[in-house]
Structure 1
Amino acid sequence: MSARLSLAALGGALILLAPVSAQYPTPALIPPNPLYQHPAYRYQFYLGTTVPTVYGRTFVGVTVPYTRAPQLFSPNMGRPVPYSWWSVAPGVPTPSGYMSGSASSAAALATQRAFQAAQAEALRVRDDPEAAQRIIAAQASYEKAAPSPRPGLPPPPPAQALIQALTPEDDQLITSGQALNTLLQALPTIDTRAAEPANAFLPPQLLQEIRFATPKGELLNLARLSGRLPFPEVFEQEPLRPLKETLERDFAAVALPLLAGKSPDRAAIAQLENTLLRLEQAAAPFIRNLSFDEAAAARRFLNQFHNALRTLKSENLSRLWNPNWNTLGANVADLTQHMLKHQLRFDAAPTGSEPAYLALHRALAAYFLAGQKTRK
């Protein structure tokens, strides 16, 4: 007898002579499992080996069921299950598993692709003035200098000015507000339904960097700076500081209702005017002793308040600003329609806000070009 057979016989004899409580589950011959791919008949743990046969591989050893379903091909069915790491009851294994998946929206994907196409078209037109000219020439309203489609709105800009706004040779044309105002003037002529996929979202951070022109716009700029007004250094001197703090407080009483979409109280406007006159009279001797640049900055700051007061007393300012924009942002259509309704225009970008103006120009150009595709 060979050494291998002797060792196997000795091992079997030791198992048979061991007490019953210490014996392992009896190995068994398990034929090929035709239901192996079915979850109820898989194996989670096994101890043994497989032997090739004519009908497939045959397993010889001990298995642990994957689930509590009957194991037609397991010799341990109905017996305590060995090698179970954890279970709710002795001999009852606890099955486990996982599930994953995903979801998508065909409508959202189509809108995203349309917006990407509009942005690509805007970039292409910026590098190809002739393409922009062909788009504009296809509109009869520009060729015939047709009046504005809605009363109270400015007429569309000339074709050459619109081409320059779409394809600026220098970013200065954008950051100065000129190209943005030209596109704003042209937007009432587009097909808004066709442009809707390119109606880009404008986050609150970008809106805070925009500055508006016209008297209403200057008032809005000051109101949005309430609490952090850029006072010149001359107003930090001790005789002027108390009046400066009073002016800040009185202006906040006017700015807060304005930013909430309401008209300020007339009494608050009168109080602001009185405080401004007192500060102006007290600051006159100090301004005369300043250098030319410092004196010009101080007078310019006071003139901004005078212009704001004139607008406060003569205009209906209800809904001049949408308070939802402070937290939720806006989109291109909402911003431009609001500006046209209240006769607002874009002012030059403040220092550091040039990237925001460039991003806004791309959004306006994409929105305008998307609205031209269905027009004849």
Structure 2
Amino acid sequence: MTIPVSRDIPDVLGPAKLGPITLRNRIIKAATFEGATPDAVVSDRLIEYHRRPAAGGVGMTTVAYLAVAPEGRTERRQIWMRPEAIPGLRRLTDAVHAEGAAISAQIGHAGPVADAKSNGQPALAPGRLFNPISMKMTRAATEADVGRITRAHGDAARIAVEAGFDAVEIHLGHNYFASSFLSPKINKRRDRYGGSLANRARVARGMARAVREAVGDRLAVTAKLNMDDGVPGGIWLDESLQVAQWLQEDGRLDALELTAGSSLLNPMYLFRGEAPIPEFAATFPQPQRLGVQLIGKKFLIGYPYREAFLLESARQFRAALDLPLILLGGITTRDTMDTAMAEGFEFVAMGRALLREPDLIRRIEQDRATKSLCIHCNRCMPTIYSGTRCVLVEPASGALALPDRTGRP
């Protein structure tokens, strides 16, 4: 259904304030792993990856993701925020700004999702648990670890300022470090970081405080928060909504992006659609490859795809919060964007559709009836290890190519 844009409903293609910055429109390219940093610093491919949607019309693009510490990477080739990374990050932000878009740095610590084998350092979690990615046990984070990682978020935010970013997005979702503490399934601690929801939320709230104190009003500060983990015993809407209310009361965030799913326990809950198990298996060496082939259907569970598939849950947050909200999940058409605006969301975030067509927003500006060519096959997901791309446009890793309007490279 098409919802007409009136004076009471913001124009999704019009300028919008996000904290101290102004975006040219309300469309954000969501943080999606680029697989484009083989030396853990910015590459030309990473710059082009973000320049294309910037040239294609988004208001802001989000770099995913910039670890706050070496052991916080999901694997060793990811960028972690340190002085040596600044020159490359500055080249990246300059390239995006030259296209008229803003750029956000998603910062975080992968916690139990980190690949300890790749990083050469133990993955940290609220307690010991098995990580199927590295086939290793995590180490229980000490209070000193929590304090160090919290401070590292502030340090990473300062680097983002120096590198020319317009915003930072704190990763509080997907059972990464902060999210794993929020999860009653994962967090069995009996100290001040476990037990009650108030205790489990200390890490997330502390990170937001550290980042805001580090940047003041120089950058916009957002966070990505799970509405639910999609896992029995994990965090659910009632608890997540309370955490969101606390974050709002704390006053450190300019907006909240609502997400769902667990990269550790149920990754497809966020993406929806078919799970590309054969393609995922092919990216792993043995014996992990055989493991993915044998138990992939239990770990990579397919869910039906539909437009705005997180909207129903997100409505509950919209009804209870005054904080600006970013709607994520199946946003591919102007009609869906207008629906989000009509329901009170301030921004929308897009992922796979922009990977398929980086110029989609420009095309929607020209013709509101434009339909995305993304078929949500999810075969882009396994390419995060070799250079994230739409395999229907760019079958093999190599030079990036823009599709024409028919979808042909």
Both structures adopt the same fold (TM-score exceeding 0.5): no
Higher relative contact order (CA 8 A, sep 6+): 1
Q: Report the structure, 1 or 2, having the larger helix content.
A: 1
Q: TM-score, normalised by structure 2?
A: 0.21
Q: Report the structure, 1 or 2, having the larger strand content.
A: 2
Q: Which has the larger radius of gyration?
A: 1
